[in-house]
């Protein structure tokens, strides 16, 4: 292939499977499903793919998942890599694909991830055990803290600092379920009320069952290309200020704003320019803290903004996680975060909402608000 330096990275295609219980499909099967959907959307064949970036899989913890999938799917890339940034992996892989295209290293980079966390024998327990290791090996993990436990601690402090009520967090869960109810393929589609969320099983105070995302099977794929297309990546940024909860300097400055600021600066955009949002929501407190740190809501105002319809497309608001997010479309590891990206692309292309506008923003975090990756998308 002829490569040229200084290419713009466009989104050639996207692919997304349903999320939920997908019996009989392992990691490679699910990744292949999403990759096929993506190539079909892009109008490309496998021989045209010269770059491959994958995430990790807790149900297939292979040392070389990227080359394993390359062989399985029948690719012959000149560049191949696998990343691991927790929940930020998908957006991190897309950012790497952007750099590969812009540098002229590759013309068509396939980013793909997926796993069968729900249906795999022992998959859910394995995922919980793996995720718990984001905690400090000496000062956190030995005391039995879980991922919900870490976020519960953050929720308690953040709520106390900014006057957030548990009902405000419940608004996030209700919003996501309402979006998922309108989206075929979502894991959880039955609408819920504030009362339902408040009455659900306590998990890690103040978080309850419906404040937490489900564990799902599923996969997602994105094709980045140097060939002009309707959507381009205008900016991307990262921030990595801590790994462990015990090392967070300030819960108001976790790195989300720094990451977003770098992406906005590269794109020449601000918060006010963005028309559609795809922001990580592993827990209701996750989305609350990210929205407010980046500046899409004021401190302590996310619940109020949701009640007032600021993020409800049916009420004229700015679309937010229109597929239902991790909380309702589902969470299948790396692909869970990538689904936000696919959703925003669909909005900007007019697949979801013809009035979505021209600019989109996607943000993902890994660990416990540890690694942040932000991407700004523009419709040409």
Q: What is the C-alpha separation between 244 and 259, in angstroms, rounded?
A: 18
Q: What is the C-alpha separation between 172 and 98, in angstroms, rounded?
A: 31
**HEC letters along 365-380:** EECCCCEEEEEEEEEC
Q: What is the C-alpha separation between 94 and 74, in angstroms, rounded?
A: 21
Q: What is the C-alpha separation between 34 and 222, in angstroms, rounded?
A: 9
Per-residue pLDDT of the chain (380 residues; tens, 9 = 90+): 444 456 899 999 999 999 999 999 999 999 999 999 999 999 999 999 999 999 999 999 999 999 999 999 999 999 999 999 999 999 999 999 999 999 999 999 999 999 999 999 876 677 777 777 788 988 888 888 889 999 999 999 999 999 999 999 999 999 999 999 999 999 999 999 999 999 999 999 999 999 999 999 999 999 999 999 999 999 999 999 999 998 998 999 999 999 999 999 999 999 999 999 999 999 999 999 999 999 999 999 999 999 999 999 999 999 999 999 999 999 999 999 999 999 999 999 998 755 667 999 999 999 999 999 999 999 98
**What residues does 329 pair with on adjacent strands?**
none
Where are the domains positioned within the chain?
10-121+216-225
What are the φ/ψ torsions at residue 27 (nearest 5 degrees)? -55, -50
Q: pTM for the complete prediction?
A: 0.96
For residues 70-99, one letter each, b for 16 or more C-beta atoms within 10 angstroms of the residue's C-beta and e for the rest, the string is: beebebebeebbbbebbbbbbbbbbbbbbe
**CA-based nearest residue to 66, from 334, 374, 375:** 334
**HEC letters along the chain:** CCCCCCCCCEEEEEEECCCECCCCCCHHHHHHHHHHHHHHHHCCCHHHCCEEEECCCCCCCCCCHHHHHHHHHCCCCCEEEECCECECHHHHHHHHHHHHHHHCCCCEEEEEEEEECCCCCCHHHHHHHHHHCCCCCCCCHHHCCCHHHHHHHHHHHHHHHHCCCHHHHHHHHHHHHHHHHCCCCCCCCCCCCHHHHHHCCEEECCEEHHHECCECEEEEEEEEECCCCCEEEEEEEEEECCCCHHHCCCCCCCCHHHHHHHHHHHHCCCHHHCCEEEECCCEHHHHHHHHHHHCCCCCCCHHHHHHCCCCCHHHCCCCECCCCHHHHCCECCHHHHHHHHHHHHHHHHCCCCCCCCCEEEEEEEECCCCEEEEEEEEEC
Residues 6+ apart with CB under 8 A from 1: 50, 107
119's tokens: 């249906």
36's tokens: 């096929």
Residues 6+ apart with CB under 8 A from 158: 164, 251, 285, 288, 289
CATH of 10-121+216-225, one of 3.20.20.140, 3.30.300.30, 3.40.47.10, 3.40.50.300: 3.40.47.10
């Amino acid at each position: 292939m002829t490569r040229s330096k200084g290419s713009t990275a466009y989104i050639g295609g996207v692919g997304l499977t349903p999320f939920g219980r997908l019996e009989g499909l392992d990691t490679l099967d699910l990744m292949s499903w999403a990759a096929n959907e993506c190539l079909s959307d892009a109008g490309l064949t496998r021989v045209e793919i010269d770059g491959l970036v994958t995430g990790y899989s807790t149900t297939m913890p292979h040392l070389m998942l990227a080359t394993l999938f390359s062989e399985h799917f029948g690719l012959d890339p000149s560049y191949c890599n696998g990343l691991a940034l927790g929940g930020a992996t998908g957006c991190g892989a897309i950012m790497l694909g952007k750099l590969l295209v812009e540098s002229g290293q590759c013309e068509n980079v396939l980013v793909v991830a997926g796993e069968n966390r729900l249906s795999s024998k022992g998959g859910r327990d394995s995922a919980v055990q793996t995720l718990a290791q984001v905690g400090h090996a000496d000062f956190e993990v030995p005391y039995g803290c879980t991922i919900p436990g870490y976020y519960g601690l953050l929720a308690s402090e953040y709520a106390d600092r900014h006057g957030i009520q548990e009902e405000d967090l419940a608004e996030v869960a209700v919003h996501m379920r309402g979006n998922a109810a309108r989206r075929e393929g979502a894991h959880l589609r039955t609408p819920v009320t504030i009362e339902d969320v408040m009455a659900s099983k306590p998990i890690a105070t103040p978080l309850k069952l419906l404040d937490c995302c489900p564990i799902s099977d599923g996969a997602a794929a994105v094709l980045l290309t140097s060939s002009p297309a309707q959507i381009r990546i205008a900016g991307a940024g990262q921030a990595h200020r801590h790994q462990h909860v015990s090392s967070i300097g300030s819960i108001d400055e976790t790195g989300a704003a720094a990451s977003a600021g770098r992406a906005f600066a590269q794109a020449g955009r601000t918060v006010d320019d963005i028309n559609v949002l795809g922001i990580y929501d592993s827990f209701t407190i996750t989305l609350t803290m990210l929205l407010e740190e980046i500046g899409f809501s004021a401190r302590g105002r996310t619940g109020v903004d949701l009640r007032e319809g600021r993020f409800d497309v049916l009420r004229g608001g700015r679309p937010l996680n229109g597929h239902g997010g991790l909380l309702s479309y589902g969470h299948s590891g790396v692909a869970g975060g990538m689904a936000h990206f696919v959703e925003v692309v669909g909005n900007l292309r007019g697949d979801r909402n013809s009035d979505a506008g021209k600019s989109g923003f996607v943000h993902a975090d890994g660990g416990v608000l540890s690694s942040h990756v932000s991407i700004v998308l523009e419709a040409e």
